[in-house]
Chain A
Amino acid sequence: MNPVMKFLHKTGSPAYFYWLSGRIIPWLWVVFAVLTTWGLYQAFFVAPSDYQQGESYRIIYIHVPAAWLSMMIYLMMAIFGAIGLIWRIRIAEILAISSAPIGAAFALIALITGAVWGKPTWGTYWVWDARLTSQLVLFFLYLGVMGLHSAIDEPRKAARAAAMLALVGVVNLPIIHYSVEWWNTLHQGTTIKIIGESKMPSSMLFPLLLMAVATKFYFGAALLSRARNRLLDQDRRRGWVAKSIREQRL
Chain B
Amino acid sequence: MNAFFSLLKRDLLLAVRSRAEALQPLFFLLVVVTLFPLGLGPGPALLAKIAVGVIWIAALLASTLSLDKLFRADFEDGSLEQFLTSGHSLSLLALAKIIAHWLSTGLPIVLFSPLLAIWLNLPHEALPVLVKSLLLGTPIFSLIGAIGAALTVGLRQGGQLLALLIFPLLIPVLILATGAVSAATDNLESSAYLLWMAAYAVLMLTLAPFACAASLRISLS
Contacts and interface: CB of A to CB of B under 8 A. Distances in A.
Indicate the member of B155, B171, B179 with the most A CB atoms within 10 Å.
B171
A170 to B, nearest CB: 11
A161 B169 CA distance: 16
Contacts of B168: 137, 140-141, 144, 169, 176
Contact of A147 (B147, B165, B221): B165
A152 B220 CA distance: 12
Interface string A164-181: 110111011001100110
A33 interface: no
Category for how many chain A residues contact B = 20 to 34
Interface in A142-195: 143-144, 147-148, 151-152, 157, 160-161, 164-165, 167-169, 171-172, 175-176, 179-180, 182-183
Contacts of B211: 164, 167-168
Contacts of B221: 157, 160
Contact of B171 (A147, A151, A180): A180
Interface in A85-120: 85
Nearest to A159: B218
A176 B151 CA distance: 21
Contacts of A165: 147-148, 151, 165
A155 to B, nearest CB: 12
B133 to A, nearest CB: 14
Given A85-B214, A160-B218, A164-B218, A172 B169 contact: yes
Given A160-B218, A171-B207, A182 B179 contact: yes
Interface of B: 144, 147-148, 151-152, 155, 157, 161, 164-165, 167-169, 171-172, 175-176, 179, 196, 200, 207, 211, 214-215, 218-219, 221
Given A141-B168, A144-B165, A179-B196, 7 more contacts: A148-B152, A161-B151, A164-B218, A176-B171, A179-B176, A180-B172, A183-B179
9 contacts: A140-B168, A148-B151, A151-B152, A151-B157, A165-B151, A169-B168, A175-B200, A179-B175, A182-B179
